Amino acid sequence: MASTPKFEKKYAFFGIRPCDLAAVRVMDKTMLVPGLEDSIYESRRKNSIFVVVNCARAEANCFCASMGTGPRAESGYDLSITELPGKLIIDVAEGRRNLLEGVELRPSTEQEVRSEDEVILRTRRQMTRHIDNESLATRMYAAIDSPSWSVVADKCLACGNCTMVCPTCFCNTVREEADLVADSVTRVRVWDSCMSKDFVYSAGGNPRLQRRDRYRQFVMHKFAYWHDQFGLSGCVGCGRCITWCPVGIDITATVNDVLGESPQGKEKMEVLQVG
Amino acid sequence: MVSQVQLTIAPASVAEVAQETPDTFTLVLNLADGRGPKDFVPGQFNMLYLLGIGEVPISIASSPNERRVMHTVRSVGTVTSLLAKLRPGDKLGLRGPFGKPWPMKEAHGRQLIVVAGGLGLPPLRPVILEAIRKPESFEGVKILYGVRTPSDLIFQSEFPAWEKAKGCEFFVTVDRGDAKWKGNVGVVTTLFPGAGIKPSQAVAFVCGPELMIKFVILELVKIGVPKERIFVSMERNMKCGVGTCGHCQLGPNFICKDGPIFAYPQIERFFPKSGV
């Protein structure tokens, strides 16, 4: 009767960025809830290796520095690579030396390590979007009634692009796929979006009828609820939701607006101190 | 903790169907795996499934001491309108039970106030039956039940027993009466002043539409019932039942597993706020 497909194929995620590696860490929490492990995710995850490339350049919508997920991956990879002019600095996770068999390697010099730090620092400084992540969940909870939600949501089309490109969105539904000939049905888990009107519709009505309600749910889930549900932030600062928003909504601006803050100054100060 | 019965659809069949109102019916079920009402605690819910159609979350209307599992359903959507067509002998699937039950122990030694609005009555029916069965456990039981019109009343054949039960008082109100209606007219909170509620001793169990719950809470708090002794059953679009699909969130809570029964202070921050 019930059966779930197994995936034993091996995957190498080569050249993924620190924000996406952080997203895998988030997915490990949402997909591998103790006792409810998603067997498909689990088998794929187990058969995957991650070669992360640290970012030597920030794109316009990046804010990983604010979320503490980049521009350098700190853990969770098998190999991490930083590109320096004419050479690569490679960090090998414990027990992963075998992945570099046949590659000509030498220990990096102190100067090269300093250059790597400089590259990472330069990338941090390039970022123009900032959120103050300090106790962010608590501050977001306090901002749930901010009038700014409505201002942003006035632009929002509730198209769902943000949820489709977000690397941590996990909400899903089950589709019944009936075979017209045989009397069998396959129940298929598919991705769903909290931006759709149907998402919370039930016999009692629709608790999130307004676009404001649905947009607020998306943002509050990432920055506040997620912490209580899974013990970490649901946002990794990849900036894809900004890139793909057809009306130019910037999630960092939303957060700063509802909090009534302008963290630009603070973030810059931190960066300068590090440097 | 998650159990196999929450992840696997168990075959069930319809033993009886009772038509409560033109659009509301009670399914009395036989479960093929031999489980019965004692395996389902008042306040929890099941996912009822029709092959190729889908699942719907429906609260458990039977008391653990009855013979069979019961679900009272209103025909409103795709799945429920097809559940309405089931007849004795027909097959369906059942997954569950899910969620936290009514905290009956919290009401022991106290005055139990049951407030139901419309289809909020089925999940409270086992609470009422339990209270009637053990009147000595409570300092009186008040059942306050409100519906839109007299034709929306369900479980009517049981009303005389509830009225007569020792220590139990049963009050009914309708939003709009009809020619034959001689009872109270008004929303359920209009029953409060005449119900003999002792706020300092009361524990309230509330279920109904969100708007009704909102006004009931306001009124209970106003008359002095401590917030932590108000328990509500919340409804959202439950799908997976185990907190992994994301549909039934209310703030950080997954109603399917953290609820559906909440002590009011647990959700006060998000309810009765609109649009959360």
Task: Read off the pLDDT of residues B177-212 as tens digits, 9 standing for 90 and up.
Answer: 999 999 999 999 999 999 999 999 999 999 999 999
pLDDT confidence of residue A265: 47
Q: Which residues of B touch A225 (CB under 8 A)?
A: 249, 251-252
| Claim to verify: residue B52 and residue B184 sit in the same structural domain | no
pLDDT confidence of residue A274: 44
Closest-CA residue of chain B to A216: B276
pLDDT confidence of B239, banded at 50, 70, 90?
Answer: very high
pLDDT confidence of residue B59: 97
> Inter-chain contact B275–A210, Cβ cutoff 8 Å?
yes
Q: Which residues of A touch B247 (CB under 8 A)?
A: 171, 173, 192, 199-200
Q: Does the residue A205 lie in any domain?
A: yes
Q: Which of A36, A172, A176 sits opposite B2 (nearest CB)?
A: A36
Report the alpha-carbon distance of residue B94 to residue B85 in Å, rounded.
Answer: 17
Please, which residues have CB within 8 angstroms of residue B10's CB and are 6 or more apart in sequence?
B31, B32, B33, B35, B93, B94, B95
Interface residue ranges in chain A relative to chain B, Cβ cutoff 8 Å: 2, 30, 33, 35-36, 38, 141, 144-145, 170-174, 176, 178, 183, 185, 192, 194, 199-205, 207-210, 212-213, 216-217, 220-221, 224-225, 227-229
Q: Does the residue A1 lie in any domain?
A: no
Q: Does the residue B273 lie in any domain?
A: no
Could you tell me the sign of the dihedral formed by the alpha carbons of B33, B37, B38, B39, in that order?
Answer: positive
Report the alpha-carbon distance of residue A235 to residue A68 in Å, rounded.
Answer: 10
Report the alpha-carbon distance of residue B173 to residue B181 in Å, rounded.
Answer: 10
What integer best gives the mean pLDDT of chain B?
96
| C-beta of residue B167 within 8 angstroms of C-beta of residue B135 | yes
> Inter-chain contact A171–B247, Cβ cutoff 8 Å?
yes
| Claim to verify: residue A26 and residue A109 sit in the same structural domain | yes
CATH number at residue B245: 3.40.50.80
Q: B192 to chain A nearest CA, in Å?
A: 24
Q: Does the residue B234 lie in any domain?
A: yes
> Inter-chain contact A213–B52, Cβ cutoff 8 Å?
no
Closest-CA residue of chain B to A229: B252
| C-beta of residue A51 within 8 angstroms of C-beta of residue A20 | no
Give the number of beta-carbon pairs within 8 Å between A and B: 97
Single pTM value for the model? 0.93
Average pLDDT of the residues in B260-273: 93
Q: B269 to chain A nearest CA, in Å?
A: 9
How many domains does one find in chain A? 2
pLDDT confidence of residue B1: 74
pLDDT confidence of residue B190: 97
Q: A175 to chain B nearest CA, in Å?
A: 8
Q: Does the residue A57 lie in any domain?
A: yes
One-letter identity of residue A257 = D
Report the alpha-carbon distance of residue B73 to residue B109 in Å, rounded.
Answer: 33
Structure confidence by residue, pLDDT tens digits, B138-161: 999 999 999 999 999 999 999 999
Which segments in chain A show pLDDT lower than 50? Answer: 265, 267-275
Domain of residue B109, residue span: 104-267
R_g over Cα of chain B: 18
pLDDT confidence of residue A127: 97
Q: Which residues of B touch A144 (CB under 8 A)?
A: 269-270, 273, 276
Domain of residue A64, residue span: 11-126
| Claim to verify: residue B119 and residue B245 sit in the same structural domain | yes
Report the alpha-carbon distance of residue A94 to residue A107 in Å, rounded.
Answer: 16
Reference B123, options B234, B23, B38; nearest CA is: B234
| Claim to verify: residue B109 and residue B68 sit in the same structural domain | no
pLDDT confidence of residue A271: 47
CATH number at residue B83: 2.40.30.10
Q: Which two tokens stand for residue A236?
A: 């990794």
Output b/e per residue, B89-126; b: 16+ Cβ within 10 A.
Answer: eeebbbbbbbbbbbebeebeebbbbbbbbbbbbbbbbb
pLDDT confidence of residue B155: 98
Beta strands in A128-267 (DSSP E): 172-178, 185-191
Q: Which residues of A touch B251 (CB under 8 A)?
A: 220, 225
Report the alpha-carbon distance of residue B268 to residue B276 in Å, rounded.
Answer: 12
Q: Which residues of A touch B7 (CB under 8 A)?
A: 36
In this structure, how many other beta carbons lie within 10 angstroms of the beta carbon of residue B78? 11
Q: Does the residue A4 lie in any domain?
A: no
Structure confidence by residue, pLDDT tens digits, B24-56: 999 999 999 999 999 999 999 999 999 999 999
pLDDT confidence of residue A3: 67
pLDDT confidence of residue A202: 87
| Claim to verify: residue A53 and residue A117 sit in the same structural domain | yes
| Claim to verify: residue B78 and residue B146 sit in the same structural domain | no
Q: Give the strands of the sheet with B141-147, arranged side by side.
A: B184-185, B168-174, B141-147, B111-117, B202-207, B230-233, B261-263
Q: Which of B239, B252, B274 sits opposite A228 (nearest CB)?
A: B252
Point out which residues pair with B204 in neighbouring strands: B113, B230
Average pLDDT of the residues in B75-87: 97
Structure confidence by residue, pLDDT tens digits, B94-147: 999 999 999 999 999 999 999 999 999 999 999 999 999 999 999 999 999 999
